[in-house]
């Protein structure tokens, strides 16, 4: 029986499709076109003699054979990448502590960090999510090597490098969530919170009464409260989830009682005396987010 070999690049393509759930997103991560990703998957399927995904115009699902291969494929890639890193990049090692706002970490950062971890398997990432003002405090206390923080765009020079900017919007279950309310019910994070402050200051500026209807320490908890109709919240436009809608202000159906909101920025701040490994991660984050912004 002829010896069979599995191509590392083809396995990486297969795993990346599984991780991203899309040929297009897999191509963006691996620096290939969608057609190139399709061709690589076809070659792998020819090597193993089995279909690995079932594709339709609207869905992508792994076959039973794909489920059998995905675990071993990940193990092969981890061993392969760790071996190369040990041989050719022995200095790219150590741990990096990074603090991130929860909503930004959920929406934008997993793929960025995953790509870095795959390229540098000897590096241990320690990621902590918290409110921006707490992240600032912990960063200056020495808890983090890198921190990503929300801030209001300003003309004057601010700490850190801007890596992301997007509009903020009011988010509700429907327009009735704010219609005919004497006071706008707000769903917010505990103080200190940049979005909470942004919401209350915007309403105060137009003399609109408000009240804190629901406070949650997690994004999931806040979204559940909004879905239940307990109030409205503030989110970046790209983070408005299915089932909820942007209302008033900058986007969505007009609601006269809701004022516009400033854009939000995300800045990356590096600690003094940063290690080469941490600085490499910082440059990776900046480059990746600039491509996506």
* The token pair that represents 100 in the structure block: 């991130």
Helix (H) / strand (E) element for 194: namely helix 194-205
| Cα dihedral across residues 278, 283, 287, 292: positive or negative | positive
* The token pair that represents 39 in the structure block: 């061709």
Helix (H) / strand (E) element for 193: namely none
User: Cβ(210)–Cβ(257) under 8 Å?
Assistant: no
What does the pLDDT average to over 263-292? Answer: 82
By percentage, how much of the chain surpasses pLDDT 90? 26
Strands 161-166 and 233-236: unpaired
What is residue 293's predicted lDDT score, i.e. its pLDDT? 45
Judged against a pLDDT cut of 50, whether residue 155 lies above it is answered with no
What does the pLDDT average to over 194-199? Answer: 86
What does the pLDDT average to over 129-142? Answer: 88
Q: How far apart are CA 200 and CA 194, in angstroms?
A: 10
* The token pair that represents 121 in the structure block: 């398997």
What is residue 291's predicted lDDT score, i.e. its pLDDT? 54
Place of tokens 């320490």: 217
Residues contacting residue 95 through CB under 8 Å, at least 6 positions apart: 123, 124, 125, 126
Residues contacting residue 284 through CB under 8 Å, at least 6 positions apart: 112, 115, 116
* Cα–Cα nearest to 172, from 155, 184, 162, 158: 184
Helices (H), 31-148: 34-48, 64-88, 102-107, 109-119, 132-140
Cα dist from 140 to 92, 124, 151, whole Å: 25, 22, 16
What does the pLDDT average to over 129-154? Answer: 86
**How do residues 63-90 score in pLDDT, each as one tens digit?**
999 999 988 888 888 788 777 766 766 6
What does the pLDDT average to over 220-247? Answer: 89
């Amino acid at each position: 029986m002829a010896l069979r070999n599995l191509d590392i690049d083809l396995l990486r393509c297969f795993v990346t499709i599984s991780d991203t759930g899309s040929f297009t997103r897999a191509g963006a991560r691996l620096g290939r076109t969608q057609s190139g990703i399709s061709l690589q998957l076809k070659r792998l399927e020819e090597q193993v003699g089995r279909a690995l995904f079932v594709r339709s115009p609207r869905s992508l699902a792994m076959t039973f054979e794909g489920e059998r291969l995905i675990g071993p494929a990940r193990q092969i890639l981890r061993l392969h990448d760790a071996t190369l890193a040990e041989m050719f990049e022995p200095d790219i090692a150590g741990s990096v502590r990074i603090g991130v706002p929860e909503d930004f970490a959920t929406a934008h950062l997993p793929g960025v960090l995953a790509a870095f971890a795959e390229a540098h398997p000897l590096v241990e990432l320690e990621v902590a999510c918290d409110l921006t003002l707490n992240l600032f405090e912990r960063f200056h206390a020495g808890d983090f090597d890198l921190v990503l923080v929300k801030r209001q765009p300003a003309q004057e020079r601010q700490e850190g490098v801007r890596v992301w900017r997007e509009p903020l919007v009011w988010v509700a279950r429907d327009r009735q969530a704010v219609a005919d309310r004497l006071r706008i019910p707000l769903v917010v994070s505990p103080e200190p919170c940049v979005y909470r402050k942004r919401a209350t200051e915007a309403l105060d500026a137009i003399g609109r009464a408000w009240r804190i209807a629901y406070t949650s320490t997690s994004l999931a908890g806040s979204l559940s409260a909004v879905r239940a109709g307990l109030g409205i919240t503030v989110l970046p436009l790209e983070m408005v989830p299915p089932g909820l809608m942007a209302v008033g202000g900058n986007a969505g159906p007009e609601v006269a009682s809701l004022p516009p909101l400033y854009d939000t920025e995300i800045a990356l701040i590096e600690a003094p005396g940063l290690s080469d490994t941490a600085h490499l991660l910082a440059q990776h984050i900046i480059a990746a987010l600039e491509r996506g912004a």
